[in-house]
Structure 1
Amino acid sequence: MMKTKRIALSALLSLGLAACGPMEEPESTFEAQDSQELEAGCTSMGTGITSHACTHASNPLDEVAITASATRTTSAPSISTKHKAYDLALPSGAEGSVTYVPATTGSYAFYRTQSVPITVINGATSATVASALTHAVSASGCSLTTVNVYDLTAGTTYIVATGPATGNILTVVPEFLNDSRTRYYRDADGDGYGNNATSVYTACTPPSGYTTQRFDCNDTPGSGVSINPGATEVCGNGIDDNCDGSQC
Structure 2
Amino acid sequence: MMKTKRTALSALLSFGLVACGPMEEPESTFEAQGSQELEAGCTSMGTGITTHACAHAGNPTDHVSITANATRTTSAPGISTKHKAYDLALPSGAEGSVTYVPATTGSYAFYRTQNVPITVVNGSTSATVASALTHAVSASGCSLVSVSVYDLTAGTTYIVATGPATGNAITVVPEFLNDTRTRYYQDADGDGYGNNTTSVLTACTPPSGYTTQRFDCNDTPGSGAGINPGATEICGNGIDDNCDGSQC
TM-score exceeds 0.5: yes
Conserved in 1, the CA contact under 8 Å of 2:100 and 2:159? Answer: yes
Distance 2:22 2:12 in 1: 14
Q: Where in structure 1 are there 5+ consecutive unaligned residues?
A: 1-7
Q: CA deviation at 1:139?
A: 1.1
Alpha-carbon distance between aligned partners in 2 of 1:17 and 1:124, rounded to the nearest angstrom: 60
Q: Which amino acid aligns with 1:67?
A: T
Q: How many pairs were matched up?
A: 243
User: Separation in 2 of the partners of 1:124 and 1:101?
Assistant: 12
| 2:228 counterpart residue number | 228
Aligned residue for 1:138? 138
Judging changes above 3 Å, is the alpha-carbon distance between structure 1 residues 210 and 165 closer, same or farther for their aligned structure 2 residues?
Answer: same
Match for residue 194 of structure 1? Answer: 194
Deviation at 1:17, TM superposition (A): 7.8
Q: Could you say which residue in structure 2 is the equivalent of 1:239?
A: 239
The equivalences for 1:157-176 within 5 A come to 157-176=157-176
CA distance in 1, matches of 2:156, 2:233: 56
SS of the counterpart of 1:173? Answer: strand
Q: How does 1:1-248 map to 2 (within 5 A)?
A: 15=14, 19=18, 20-27=20-27, 29-30=29-30, 32-248=32-248
Letter in 2 for 1:152: L
| 8 Å contact from structure 2 (residues 185, 196) kept in 1 | yes
**Alignment correspondent of 1:5:** none
Partner secondary structure for residue 238 of structure 1: coil
For residue 47 of structure 2, what is the amino acid of its counterpart?
Answer: T
TM-score w.r.t. the length of structure 1 is 0.90
Cα distance, 1:28 vs structure 2: 5.5
List runs of 5+ in structure 2 lacking aligned partners: 1-6
Quickly say closer, same or farther: Cα 1:14–1:75, change in 2 above 3 A. farther
String of CA shifts for 1:200-235, please: whole Å, max 9, x gaps: 111111122111110101111110011111112222
Q: Distance in 2 between matches of 1:161 and 1:30?
A: 39
Give TM-score scaled by structure 2 length.
0.90
- Residue 48 of structure 1, CA deviation: 1.6
Q: Quick check: 1:217–1:243 contact (8 Å CA) kept in 2?
A: yes
Does structure 2 retain, via aligned residues, the 8 Å contact 1:18–1:245?
A: no
